[in-house]
Amino acid sequence: MAQEILRLSAEQLYKNEIDALIANETALIPKGWQMSPKSVLTYILGGKVGDTVITPKYMGDRRVVEICIATLVTDRALLLIGEPGTAKSWLSEHLTAAINGNSSQVIQGTAGTTEEQIRYSWNYAMLLAKGPSFESLVKSPIYNAMETGTIARFEEISRCASEVQDALISILSEKRISIPELSEEVAAKKGFSIIATANTRDKGVNEMSSALKRRFNIVILPPPSDMNTEINIVKTRVAQMSKDMELNAEMPTDSDFEKIVTVFRELREGKTLDGQLKIKPTSGVLSSAEAISLMVNSMALAGSFGNGKVTDSELAAALQGAVVKDDDKDKAAWEEYLENIMRKKGADYASLYAECRERNA
Amino acid sequence: MKKLRDWITEHSDNYDDFIAAVEEYGKSIREFSVSDEHNELREAYMRRRIAESEEKYGKAAVITGAFHTSGIKNIPYSEKDKKLTDKLKTVPSKATLMPYSYYRLSSRSGYGAGSKAPGYYEILFRNKCRGVPDNTPAEYLSRLAEYQRKNGFSASSAEVIEALRLAETLAAMRGGKRPSMSDLRDAAVTCLGHGSFGEISLACADVEIGTRIGELPEGTVCTSMQEDFMHQLKDLKLERFRSASAQELDLDLRENLRVKSEKSAFLDLHRSFFMHRLIQAGVHFGTQLSTNQDNATWSEKWTVSWTPETEIEIVEASLNGETVEGAAKTSLNMELLDSQSLSDTAETLYKALLCGLPECIKTASSAVQRMASDCASPVEEGRTIGTLSAIVRFGSIRKLDPEPLTGIISQLFLKFCLQAFNACICDANAAEEMISALTFVYEACLAHDFLDSERFRKILGDLADSDVVNPLISGFACALLTEKGEITPGKLSELVSRRLSRGTPPAEGAAWFEGLARRNRRSLIGRLTLWEKLCSFIEGLDDEEFKPVLVALRRTFADFTAAEKTDIAENIGEVMGISTQQAAEMITAAVTAEEQAVIDELDDFDFGDI
């Protein structure tokens, strides 16, 4: 059964790790949590507990994760902000999986999200038959979380209309939902909180009101701080994904990973790795997530149409698609990068350079 | 290790514990670091001085870093120390007092052994003295909020409370009893800064570092800048110029081969560096006179005079550094930070070259590189290529290493080539600027082998062949190609025919010809077919069309020399079948009153965009 599911939830995938952490718990467990803050930290960053090896889920600044967990301990809501592909949703999923063993209480924010989806709505058939009652109430994930004293997730909160976002204000400050139709009020149990995520590229689409912002502790997730961390992230995820998708191709070589991550980092940061030269950045998003999908794509290409080996030709094709997103400006910037930077990187990059150049001509 | 140090300073509750912990800390660093001779010598000297003063005055109090404590305290002064330190040379030095500030104490100022946050430790220290060390986190966070509010940002008490709670939770997670500064800072970023440090960075600088400055009684300050200035005057044999009357100083920057030491061989070069550095530092001791073009690269003329203002300027300059060199560096660096455009930055790079400051040349080069990658104006790029190319060509006299600059020139060159074509679709004003940019790039191409001249030639070819770019530029591109012999006579003749044919608007044809005639006139004059075409072009115009064309052609030929005009006359004579003599007389003769009247009529003519 499990093999047929495309993507297992975090608590299913890492069940043995979570169980081991709970079994070996020694520290104080906050109300509503299934393990102590320290164990949550171990679950996210990896380590060893008893005989079980805990795989790292988030590779990056330990401090960021500490602040996230500490925020949830203080009953404040947590808002994760970052560039696309900086593992915001990933981190929020794993935090809830570790804290509650349930990462499925999610509201996906879209332009069409309504206030009912945040608070509650009605089962109209039941409403007609029985009138307003708790039975005919359809509870939102947040409502559920309040009732059970757990954590709800709110993805891409800044994609919702501002008035819909503001429905959270009273929930977060008073920690209760009133149901005027039933003259009732539901108070949140201890342990309730919300983890929201927002994308910096969406800034200004639906600006969050300062009243709402004040109710969150805001943590900005940085792109991977150094080259090796990022290569590690990309490699680990590509290995996992290619296994899951049964791609019929060899893993790209370490030097392929290094080349792609170098190009991505340099274009993203607008300077060479050694910081000596400035580079004109391109308009597309070049996060680790894009690097991962680029690698997986090249493997799919190589597996389906090539000889199963990722070559510079596949990488160049994928790079062209990832970097040159819309117009001539990207194309000129990419050419500048190729001529000024990549050409001078020496023999390792020679064939990739030639392939890229040919494609960009 | 650093964290341990913070922890010790922040968490020990009484003085003895603190001293013991710090000593332990110093010892542990010693264990992990390799002992070197230099450090042993330093400590031997410290022991000697302590022993000597104790002998003279009795018990001594020693203020030292934790690292040296065990080296001084646990090892007695011995004969070996004496022997070791006896070998040290005596260097004359001068002790002076200068006011110190919290900023200078902090590691931010570049002081290696500086404290990370003098302001924060002051809060901590005061609270400890008052017996309320637990107030520190709240006071630190409140001060941040106070600063934010004073400077027009919102910072509510609720946020301060949340930050305090978060900091305490963070401290608890790592097992501390009280939040350390990094806990507080992280909590402040999350709650007061809404996740970004940038929002509270100024507040942090104000609270953590602080702005307090020490004081000195008046008259005790003799700036090191003044001393350095006098020292340099002596060193460069310029002392006689320190008089109120203005004197001339002629400098020959080339190596003087008649003298032995390197110092005197380049004496004039170093004098030039010194004078330029003074100017850069804002001290107007000398003024550079412009020299004639012939020997501009290796000769300089200055008038030098000493006034009371100069003295004041030197004291003022000491704000920027302790030596003339340091002040010039600071000033150049500030200029770099301020400069907005690429060509300004390149100009600063040139000044750094004049001042002979390799470090500044390096920073300026990377600033130019940074600017270059953001620059979107080919005109700016062309101008900068011109400046940089000159620096590379003439920099050797000032001992410049051209290597880093050649990279930047190539980068700019590529950028220019990518943008040039689109930039050439422009009006007449912009066209002039583009022409000067093209000229700079063309000349750089001739001067430097490392540029991809093939790429530039292709651009010129595209420009010459295109009907959409400004005709003046198109003609000019054609002229550059002709000059280098990169265009076949057949192609040139095809272009001339097309441009001067009926299909092309006459004003455009004339502008194109104007562009073509901007360069290498000799080779144009030699081409008879060109003049034939021009003649038939003019003949084919009706009166209305003739007027704008006339204006452009007059402008074109205005700066031809008399000899060139005579040669053109010869050509025209050939074409029209009249004698050379006659034609030449007609062309070079003074304008008659009658003709002048006709020309004056043109004053009313609407020139439009020609």
In one-letter notation, the amino acid at residue B533 is: K
Question: Nearest to residue A294, comparing CAs of A336, A352, A341?
Answer: A352
As given in the structure block, the two tokens for residue A17 are 């790790």
Tell whether A211 lies on the interface with B, counting CB pairs under 8 A: no
User: What is the rounded average pLDDT of the residues A259-270?
Assistant: 88
CB B304 within 8 A of CB B247: yes
Shortest Cα–Cα distance, B81 to chain A (Å): 45
pLDDT of residue B147: 93
Question: What is the phi/psi pair of residue B242, to 5°?
Answer: -85, 60
Looking at per-residue confidence, does A338 or B534 come out higher? A338
Q: Which residues of B touch A279 (CB under 8 A)?
A: 373
Instruction: State chain B's mean pLDDT as an integer.
Output: 81
DSSP string, A144-209: HHHHHT-EEEEETGGGS-HHHHTHHHHHHHH-EEEEGGGTEEEEPPTT-EEEEEEEGGGTTTSPPP
Q: Which residues of B touch A278 (CB under 8 A)?
A: 366, 369-370, 372-374
User: What is the rounded average pLDDT of the residues B415-439?
Assistant: 85
Across the interface, whether the CB atoms of B366 and A71 are under 8 A apart is answered no
Residue recorded with tokens 């063309």: B442
Shortest Cα–Cα distance, A332 to chain B (Å): 7
CA distance B3 to A274: 28
CA distance A210 to A213: 5
In one-letter notation, the amino acid at residue A156 is: E
Choice among A87-96, A346-355, B100-109, B278-287 with the minimum mean pLDDT: B100-109
CA distance B238 to B250: 12
CB B502 within 8 A of CB B542: no
pLDDT band at residue B99, thresholds of 50, 70 and 90?
low
What digits encode the pLDDT tens for the residues A186-236? 999 999 999 999 988 776 677 888 888 888 999 998 888 888 888 988 888
pLDDT of residue A222: 86
Q: What SS3 state is found at B247?
A: strand
**CA triplet A94, A98, A103: central angle to 5 degrees?**
55
B126: Cβ contacts below 8 Å, ≥ 6 apart? none
Across the interface, whether the CB atoms of B170 and A76 are under 8 A apart is answered no
**Neighbour order of strands in the sheet with B299-304:** B247-252, B299-304, B286-289
pTM of the model: 0.63
pLDDT of residue A1: 42
Residues facing residue A107 across a β-bridge: A154
Q: Is the pLDDT of residue B218 over 60?
A: no
Sign of CA dihedral A278, A282, A287, A289: negative
pLDDT of residue B538: 79
pLDDT of residue A23: 92
Q: Which residues of A touch B374 (CB under 8 A)?
A: 278, 280
Cα of B79 vs its chain's centroid, Å: 54
Looking at per-residue confidence, does A190 or B225 come out higher? A190
pLDDT of residue A188: 92
Q: Which residues of B touch A327 (CB under 8 A)?
A: none
Cα of B397 vs its chain's centroid, Å: 20
Tell whether A182 lies on the interface with B, counting CB pairs under 8 A: no
The residue of chain A with its CA nearest to that of B422 is: A328
Q: Which residues of A touch B407 (CB under 8 A)?
A: 277
B356 conformational bin, left if phi > 0, alpha if psi -120 to 50, beta if neither: left
Q: Which residues of B touch A79 (CB under 8 A)?
A: 195
Q: Is the pLDDT of residue B3 over 60?
A: no
The residue of chain A with its CA nearest to that of B156 is: A214
Tell whether A73 lies on the interface with B, counting CB pairs under 8 A: yes
Q: Is the pLDDT of residue B152 over 80?
A: yes
Residue A133 is classified by DSSP as S
In one-letter notation, the amino acid at residue A71 is: T
Question: What is the phi/psi pair of residue B380, to 5°?
Answer: -60, -45
pLDDT of residue B296: 56
Q: Is the pLDDT of residue A68 over 60?
A: yes
Q: Is the pLDDT of residue B363 over 90?
A: no
Tell me which of A203, A279, A340, A357 to substitute to probe the interface with B (most B C-beta atoms closer than 10 Å).
A340
Return the CA Rg of chain A.
23
Q: How many CB atoms lie within 10 A of CB A327?
A: 9
Nearest to A73 among B169, B369, B414 (CB): B169
Shortest Cα–Cα distance, B471 to chain A (Å): 25
Q: Count of alpha carbons within 13 Å of A6, Cβ hemisphere only?
A: 0
Nearest to A67 among B156, B186, B414 (CB): B186
User: What is the rounded average pLDDT of the residues B544-551?
Assistant: 76
CA distance A222 to B377: 33
Q: What SS3 state is found at B297?
A: coil
Across the interface, whether the CB atoms of B373 and A270 are under 8 A apart is answered yes
Tell whether A220 lies on the interface with B, counting CB pairs under 8 A: yes
Across the interface, whether the CB atoms of B373 and A280 are under 8 A apart is answered yes
What digits encode the pLDDT tens for the residues B386-419? 888 888 887 777 777 777 788 888 888 888 888 8
pLDDT of residue A106: 94
Across the interface, whether the CB atoms of A70 and B166 are under 8 A apart is answered yes
Q: Which residues of A touch B195 (CB under 8 A)?
A: 79, 81, 218-220
CA distance A236 to A222: 19
Q: Is the pLDDT of residue B91 over 50?
A: yes
Tell whether A45 lies on the interface with B, counting CB pairs under 8 A: no
Architecture label for domain B118-209: Orthogonal Bundle (1.10)
CB B480 within 8 A of CB B519: yes
Q: Which range has highest mean pLDDT (A114-123, B93-102, B514-523, B529-538)?
A: A114-123
Question: What is the phi/psi pair of residue B194, to 5°?
Answer: 50, 45
Q: What SS3 state is found at B120?
A: helix
Shortest Cα–Cα distance, B179 to chain A (Å): 13
Q: Count of alpha carbons within 13 Å of A333, Cβ hemisphere only?
A: 26
pLDDT band at residue B465, thresholds of 50, 70 and 90?
confident
In one-letter notation, the amino acid at residue B396 is: S
What digits encode the pLDDT tens for the residues A17-39? 999 999 998 888 998 899 999 99
Residue B208 is classified by DSSP as I
SS (H, E, C) B497-543: HHHCCCCCCHHHHHHHHHHHCCCCHHHHHCCHHHHHHHHHHHHCCCH
Tell me which of A26, A66, A210 to substitute to probe the interface with B (most B C-beta atoms closer than 10 Å).
A66
pLDDT of residue B220: 61
CA distance A312 to A252: 10
pLDDT of residue B97: 66
pLDDT of residue B95: 67
User: What is the rounded average pLDDT of the residues B488-517?
Assistant: 79
Across the interface, whether the CB atoms of A66 and B173 are under 8 A apart is answered yes
β-pairing, A52-54 with A47-49? antiparallel
Tell me which of B196, B345, B373 to substitute to probe the interface with A (most A C-beta atoms closer than 10 Å).
B373
Shortest Cα–Cα distance, B452 to chain A (Å): 11
Task: Delimit the domains of chain B by residue range.
Answer: 2-96, 118-209, 224-326, 452-610
pLDDT band at residue B294, thresholds of 50, 70 and 90?
very low
pLDDT band at residue B543, thresholds of 50, 70 and 90?
confident
Alpha helix (H) ranges present in chain A? 10-13, 15-23, 37-45, 62-73, 88-100, 115-118, 124-130, 141-148, 162-165, 167-174, 210-213, 227-245, 254-269, 288-305, 312-323, 328-340, 347-360
What digits encode the pLDDT tens for the residues B296-343? 567 888 888 877 777 777 777 777 778 888 889 888 888 888 888 888
Q: How many CB atoms lie within 10 A of CB B240?
A: 9
Element (H, E) at A122: strand A120-122
Residue recorded with tokens 């171990």: A42
pLDDT of residue B351: 87
The residue of chain B with its CA nearest to that of A27 is: B173
Across the interface, whether the CB atoms of B373 and A79 are under 8 A apart is answered no
The residue of chain B with its CA nearest to that of A37 is: B173
User: What is the rounded average pLDDT of the residues B505-519?
Assistant: 81
Tell whether A71 lies on the interface with B, counting CB pairs under 8 A: yes
**CA triplet B397, B403, B405: central angle to 5 degrees?**
85
Q: Which residues of A touch B196 (CB under 8 A)?
A: 218, 220
Question: Nearest to residue B519, comparing CAs of B447, B451, B587, B464?
Answer: B464
pLDDT of residue A141: 94
The residue of chain A with its CA nearest to that of B184 is: A67
Q: How many CB atoms lie within 10 A of CB B23?
A: 15
What digits encode the pLDDT tens for the residues B264-283? 788 888 888 899 999 888 88
Residues facing residue A155 across a β-bridge: A108
User: What is the rounded average pLDDT of the residues B113-133?
Assistant: 86
Across the interface, whether the CB atoms of A74 and B373 are under 8 A apart is answered no
* Nearest-10 crossing angle of helices B197-204, B181-191: 130
Q: Is the pLDDT of residue A339 over 50?
A: yes
Q: Write the CA distances from B373 to B109, B368, B391, integer angstroms.
A: 30, 9, 20
Q: Is the pLDDT of residue B292 over 70?
A: no
Q: Which range has highest mean pLDDT (A41-45, B58-62, B327-331)?
A: A41-45
CA distance B503 to B356: 58
CB A194 within 8 A of CB A151: yes
pLDDT of residue B291: 65
Burial (0-12, 13-18, 19+ Cβ within 10 Å), B18: middle
SS (H, E, C) B548-572: HHHHHHHHHHHCCCHHHHHHHHHHH
Instruction: State chain A's mean pLDDT as an integer.
Output: 88
CA distance B365 to A277: 10
pLDDT of residue A243: 81
**CA triplet A66, A67, A70: central angle to 5 degrees?**
85
Residues facing residue A151 across a β-bridge: A193
Question: Chain B residues with CB-CB distance to A under 8 A?
Answer: 154, 156, 158-159, 162, 165-166, 169-170, 173-174, 186-187, 190-191, 194-196, 366, 369-370, 372-374, 407, 410-411, 414-415, 418-419
Across the interface, whether the CB atoms of A214 and B170 are under 8 A apart is answered no
Residue recorded with tokens 């806990």: B183
What digits encode the pLDDT tens for the residues A172-198? 988 989 899 899 899 999 999 999 999
Q: Which residues of A touch B190 (CB under 8 A)?
A: 67, 71, 217-219
Interface ipTM? 0.74
pLDDT of residue A148: 93
Q: Is the pLDDT of residue B577 over 50?
A: yes
Shortest Cα–Cα distance, A234 to chain B (Å): 26
Q: What SS3 state is found at A226?
A: coil
Q: Which residues of A touch B159 (CB under 8 A)?
A: 214
pLDDT band at residue B605, thresholds of 50, 70 and 90?
low
B152 conformational bin, left if phi > 0, alpha if psi -120 to 50, beta if neither: left
Nearest to A279 among B187, B366, B373 (CB): B373
Q: Is the pLDDT of residue B609 over 60?
A: no
What digits encode the pLDDT tens for the residues A282-300? 877 788 888 998 898 888 8
CA distance B596 to B148: 74
Element (H, E) at B478: helix B471-484
Residue recorded with tokens 């401290």: B171
Across the interface, whether the CB atoms of A218 and B159 are under 8 A apart is answered no
B343: Cβ contacts below 8 Å, ≥ 6 apart? B380, B383, B384, B387
To the nearest 10°, report the CA torsion of A121, A125, A129, A131.
10
Q: Which residues of B touch A67 (CB under 8 A)?
A: 166, 170, 186-187, 190
Residue B205 is classified by DSSP as I
CB B85 within 8 A of CB B193: no
β-pairing, B286-289 with A120-122? unpaired
Nearest to B190 among A67, A210, A339 (CB): A67
Q: What SS3 state is found at A82?
A: strand
For chains A and B, CB pairs below 8 A equal 76
pLDDT of residue A139: 93
Tell me which of A35, A75, A218, A329 to substitute to probe the interface with B (most B C-beta atoms closer than 10 Å).
A218
What digits encode the pLDDT tens for the residues A308-329? 888 888 888 888 888 887 777 7
